[in-house]
Amino acid sequence: MIHLLDCKVLSNDEVAPGHRRLVLDGKAIAEDTCAGQFCMLESSPGLQPFLRRPMSIERFGGDSFSVLYKIVGEGTRLLGRIQPGDTVNVQGPLGNGFSIPKEFKRYILVGGGIGIAPLPGLAQALIRETGTPPEVILAARSRDILLCQEDFTRMNCPVFLVTDDGSAGMHGFASNALEARKPDKNTLVYTCGPMIMMGAVHRICMENGSRCQASLEANMACGDGVCMGCVVETTLQEEFRRMVRVCHEGPVFDSRDIRWNTGTPAHD
């Protein structure tokens, strides 16, 4: 069920340069969320900025939920100024979330930059559903913006770091780290991050016979399937599924269904 709630801010702390975690009191949203869903946040009361901002729900449970965000523009800059005790209006949970099929032997999470946000909640769900902590590939430009490492370690997930500049873990990209983990046909990969990274992760999965669920980002106005502002192109043949709404049919898709423009065949 989708809720529209005034949520009290419990904390809004900096977790890395330019990155914050907003913890909100909102029992109804916390109870009804599944991993990979998102919410639309009003970044300040009133009409400026007019549009809500979509954010993954990072962790949820009990009476509260959290959002991990990167400050990139006006809306997130305003979010960064919010103080404990303030109120934020939130619509959610929205979108489909990740699915957890049980037939796989390995589950690997690949998060790039702020794309890591929906993955701690997914790790928690995978542990609950499969009994085993998933492997996690944490990718970032540099060491200081590797996010959530301690959260995954606390859940006993094997964590593999990879940075563009080599300042922590493997020197390279998320897709290099995934290739090194040797995924196979018994592996399900979950990924969230920049489109170019997810396209490369999809390619590694296709080359190794693995399956992949990708959580996409798009500019959103309504967040609820009405404005058609968030459509992406698919590889599907049916007329009504050639374009899909990230907010409504997604944000999580079988990576074979998305046209990545990487030259990789989508379906086998």
**What is the nearest approach in angstroms of ligand FAD to the Cβ of residue 51?**
5
- Is residue 19 a contact point for ligand FES (CB under 6 A)? no
> What burial letters (b/e) apply to 170-189, b meaning 16+ CB within 10 Å?
beebbbebbbebebeeebbb
* Region binding ligand FAD by CB under 6 A among candidate stretches 132-140, 155-163, 177-185, 218-226: 218-226
**String marking each residue 42-81 x if it binds ligand FAD according to CB under 6 A:** -------x-x-xxxx----------xxxx-xxxxx-----
- Is residue 57 a contact point for ligand FES (CB under 6 A)? no
**String marking each residue 149-188 x if it binds ligand FAD according to CB under 6 A:** ----------------------------------------
**Quick one: tokens of 115?**
């794309």
Q: Which does 251 bind (CB under 5 to 8 A by kind): ligand FES, ligand FAD, none?
A: ligand FAD
- Is residue 18 a contact point for ligand FES (CB under 6 A)? no
Q: Which long-range contacts (CB under 8 A, 24 or more apart) does 161-169 make?
A: 162/137, 162/138, 163/139, 164/140, 165/141, 167/142, 167/143, 168/142, 168/143, 169/138
Interface with ligand FES (CB under 6 A), residue from 4, 15, 72, 226: 226
Cβ distance to ligand FES smaller for residue 158 or 225: 225
Q: Which long-range contacts (CB under 8 A, 24 or more apart) does 44-51 make?
A: 44/78, 45/87, 45/89, 49/74, 49/75, 49/78, 51/75, 51/220, 51/221
**String marking each residue 233-262 x if it binds ligand FES according to CB under 6 A:** ------------x-xx--------------
Interface with ligand FES (CB under 6 A), residue from 222, 232, 252, 258: 222
How many residues touch ligand FES under the rule CB under 6 A: the total is: 13
- Is residue 55 a contact point for ligand FES (CB under 6 A)? no
- Is residue 145 a contact point for ligand FES (CB under 6 A)? no
**What is the nearest approach in angstroms of ligand FAD to the Cβ of residue 144?**
16
- Is residue 148 a contact point for ligand FAD (CB under 6 A)? no
**What is the nearest approach in angstroms of ligand FAD to the Cβ of residue 102?**
26
**What is the nearest approach in angstroms of ligand FAD to the Cβ of residue 57?**
8
Residues that bind ligand FAD (CB under 6 A): 38, 49, 51, 53-56, 67-70, 72-76, 114, 117, 217-220, 246, 251
Residues that bind ligand FES (CB under 6 A): 220-223, 225-230, 245, 247-248
